[in-house]
Amino acid sequence: MLRMLLALILSAVLVLLTGPKVIPALRKMKFGQTIYDLGPQSHKQKQGTPTMGGVMIAFGVVVAALVALLINYKGGVSFMLGLLAISLLSMAVGFADDYIKVVKKRSLGLTPWQKIAGQVFTAVAFSAFCYFHPQVGSKVIIPFANIEWDLGIFYIPLLSLTIIFIVNSANLNDGLDGLLSGVAGVGGMAWASIALFCTLAVVETNPEYAGNLQSISVFGMAVMGACIGFLRFNHHPATVFMGDTGSMLLGGATVGMAMLLRQPFLLLLIAFTMVASSVSVIIQRYYYKATRKIFGEPRRLFKMTPIHHHFELSGMSENKVVVMYVIVTVVLSLIALWSLQGLQLV
């Protein structure tokens, strides 16, 4: 518990301390966000706001997680290295995308094939890491029933697709000031709590596994702390955006914790708002195409996607949408924790 608290506080403090240095530097280098004409008109005033602030989150998470892990060391290196790897590799793809957009002035960033190649590499590498890890393997847990489902040879392809989906969903979710940092922070605490529950269940019977599980709880609290610190600068009106650099980092961190806990199905609860962002875009696209074929002219189901923009255009303020998303994430995270009743670990 003390290491979790240390990770939370240290990551928040590190982000708070680096913000006043990093944000002016981003502004000086003209790393400003481009606001596109298709977006809500209220977002026009955000034009030029410094982006790529996700480097602050990465710094806070990495330093705090490693420091907390090494203090009173009880194992857990393999899980921690895995989490750092998927987070930083996901961030690298986002950073490259941001860099090309902002510095090279190529508005679309990485080409779709470049982006998917980086994400596929990260997803397959991490899925293989989990598959061959003796404490993870090919079995996943079905929530509420708390039974194991062995995916066998389908584990790597299915979980790779899950990773790519969640990372891109987190990216889509980052559309309002404080939105992704708010829901990802709550999610970090939720995964940390699940990991702590699992740690206490096996600490006597399998101390090595307990050490790895504890590293997830430390990492989750580091994510939460970094998000809290970042909210100081990212709440409405934001003085910095995390960019793809931060959103893909948080997406990678989120799905990484879920996979190491063997709880990918709980992403439907804890990462619900991220999933909803992607699903709304997919529904809108197919509805648009279907109505064009049926009626001769395209129609839209939502006013704009991802769906948080639909709520904005329906009259909700940016802050109200963010608060609603955070509350939904808190409630669904509590349900996810409740689903652990009767879970047996070995």
Predicted confidence at residue 42, as pLDDT, reads 58
Q: Is residue 343, in this structure, part of any structural domain at all?
A: no
pLDDT, tens only, 254-278: 999 999 999 999 999 999 999 999 9
Q: What is the Cα–Cα distance from 300 to 346, expressed in whole angstroms?
A: 50
Residues facing 149 on adjacent strands: 140
If you average pLDDT over residues 138-158, what whole number do you get? 95
Q: Is residue 345, in this structure, part of any structural domain at all?
A: no
Predicted confidence at residue 75, as pLDDT, reads 73
Predicted confidence at residue 48, as pLDDT, reads 72
Provide, rounded to the nearest whole percent, the portion of the chain with pLDDT above 70: 94
Q: Is residue 298, in this structure, part of any structural domain at all?
A: yes
Q: Is residue 346, in this structure, part of any structural domain at all?
A: no
Structural contact between residues 219 and 249, judged by C-beta atoms closer than 8 angstroms: no
Three-state secondary-structure class, residue 229: helix
Q: Is residue 206, in this structure, part of any structural domain at all?
A: yes
* Backbone φ, ψ for residue 206 (5° rounding): -145, 75
Q: What angle do CA 180, 182, 185 make, to 5 degrees?
A: 100
Q: What is the Cα–Cα distance from 321 to 308, expressed in whole angstroms?
A: 7
Q: At what angle do helices 272-295 and 318-338 cross, to 10 degrees?
A: 120
DSSP 33: P
Predicted confidence at residue 22, as pLDDT, reads 96
Q: Which residues, other chains included, contact 62 with Cβ-Cβ below 8 Å and sequence gap of 6+?
A: 84, 88
pLDDT, tens only, 198-227: 999 898 889 899 999 999 999 999 999 999
Structural contact between residues 262 and 140, judged by C-beta atoms closer than 8 angstroms: yes
Q: How many domains does the chain have?
A: 1
Provide, rounded to the nearest whole percent, the portion of the chain with pLDDT above 90: 80
The beta strands (E) that lie in the chain are given as 139-142, 147-150
Q: How many CA atoms lie within 13 A of 62 on its CB side?
A: 16
Predicted confidence at residue 276, as pLDDT, reads 97
Predicted confidence at residue 44, as pLDDT, reads 58
Check whether 127 has a pLDDT greater than 70.
Answer: yes
Domain that holds residue 304: 2-338
DSSP 39: S
Nearest to 228 by CA among 63, 61, 94, 21: 61
pLDDT tier at 38, thresholds 50, 70, 90: low
Predicted confidence at residue 343, as pLDDT, reads 77
